[in-house]
Amino acid sequence: MAKQIGEDTKVTLDLKTIGMIVTFVITITGMYFALQSDIARAMELPEPEISKVEYELKDELIRNTIMDTQEDVEEIKETIKKIDNAYMK
């Protein structure tokens, strides 16, 4: 038979179980406050600065990569056209 939980239900806990529950709650609370302090400290840290030279170098690298990719795509298109022409004949 399944037990019904109601007003007459009695819950008994021994000292070991109560101690484990208290220890668990204290541990979780401590971790929460440690995490909050780490977040607050991280928010106060200075933001990394990106110099103009670094920005220009990254921009140039990205532009060169795009141009190289465009040239590769054009070569692939030419190769596909040659393959299509070879099979069409």
84 by DSSP, 3-state: which?
helix
Give the side-chain half-sphere CA count within 13 A for 82: 6
Domain ranges in the chain are 15-88
54: left (phi over 0), alpha (psi -120 to 50) or beta: alpha
Report the distance separating Cα 83 and Cα 14, nearest Å.
Answer: 82
| 50-61 residue pLDDT tens | 888 999 999 999
pLDDT band at 87 (very low <50, low <70, confident <90, very high): confident
Report pLDDT for 7: 82
- Enumerate helices (H) and strands (E) in the chain, giving the number of each: 2, 0
pLDDT band at 18 (very low <50, low <70, confident <90, very high): very high
- DSSP tag of 38: H
Q: Examine the pLDDT at 36 and tell me if it is beyond 80.
A: yes
Confidence (pTM): 0.43
Query: What single string gives the DSSP state of each residue in 41-66?
Result: HHHHSPPPP--HHHHHHHHHHHHHHH
Report pLDDT for 1: 62
Mean pLDDT taken over the chain: 89
pLDDT band at 22 (very low <50, low <70, confident <90, very high): very high
Report the distance separating Cα 71 and Cα 77, nearest Å.
Answer: 10
